[in-house]
Amino acid sequence: MASLQADLANAAARSSRLATRVRQLEERLSRALGEAAWRASGLGAPDSIDELNARITSLEQEVSDLQLKLQERDDDLAAARAANRELMAQLNRGRDAPQHPE
């Protein structure tokens, strides 16, 4: 009976140690996955100044491209508004014109 109790106590202690180790490994894995996701998102600090400069250049180019697209859309919108004003003016002139019976 005493040997069974000793075996049970040893098994409980081992189980506790294993549970602690599993928690430690889960925390390490979580940290590693979090850091990898942070780096992959582009939000993390770059590993070197060269990478930082490359990222700045890339972002500056992206800003420039987006500004060009925005300007093109503004120009298209202005042209569409002008065409709409002209069409509305033509419609209004047509309504205001006297009706001639044929």
Residues ≥6 apart with Cβ < 8 Å to 44 = 35, 38
Q: What is the pTM of this model?
A: 0.44
Domain ranges for the chain, please list them: 1-44, 47-97
45 backbone dihedrals φ, ψ, rounded to 5°: -70, 140
Q: pLDDT tens across 65-82, in order?
A: 999 999 999 999 999 999
Model pLDDT, residue 48: 83
Q: pLDDT tens across 36-67, in order?
A: 888 788 776 666 888 888 889 999 999 999 99
Q: Which of 33-37, 78-82, 96-100 has the highest mean pLDDT?
A: 78-82
Cα 63 to Cα 101: distance, rounded to the nearest angstrom = 61
